Amino acid sequence: MAAPSIHPAASQHLPAFITAPNETDYLMVASAVLLVVAVMAIGLLFLRLHTLPERMAHRSHKLQFEIVAILGLLALFTHVHLFWVAGLLLALIDIPDISGTFTRMARALEKIAGIAPREDADGVPVEAATAIPPDEVPLGGPHQARTSEELKHA
């Protein structure tokens, strides 16, 4: 076979990215690989940025984390960016744990009312937390501890 001839209008020196017919176009292959890598990197960056509120809320309370995760999913599937912003703001604030305070209040009220304490998952009675140990209760002061007889007659 004879070597392919160059068109008479073409110059004798061709750039490296010009290929002969039926040969591999290395510039197109490199461009395709670069395009695939760029799309994957931008997608990874997008998903990493999209999960930012969830990663920030991961160290907080379980309920707060779940709400932020739901807002993130809503933002992802509905394309409403307000959900993502709300999730980010919720992840940034620290919601105080008030369940412990309410639990202590409920146990103290149960103790005052004479209701038997509830049991936890292991079947062990849950005791109410007291601020002053029973052996250090001051006697004779304005806050004298009342006995159960006095509470029944009051």
Does the structure show a pLDDT above 70 at 128? no
Q: What is the mean pLDDT of the chain?
A: 80
Q: What is the dihedral of CA 45, 50, 52, 57, to 10 degrees?
A: -160
**What percentage of the chain has pLDDT greater than the value 90?**
35
For the stretch 68-73, contacts whose Cβ atoms lie closer than 8 Å and that sit 24 or more positions apart, written own/partner, are none
pTM above 0.75, yes or no: no
Q: Which has more pLDDT, 21 or 125?
A: 21
Does the structure show a pLDDT above 90 at 21? no
Does the structure show a pLDDT above 70 at 20? yes
- Lowest-pLDDT choice from 13-17, 34-38, 125-129, 145-149: 125-129
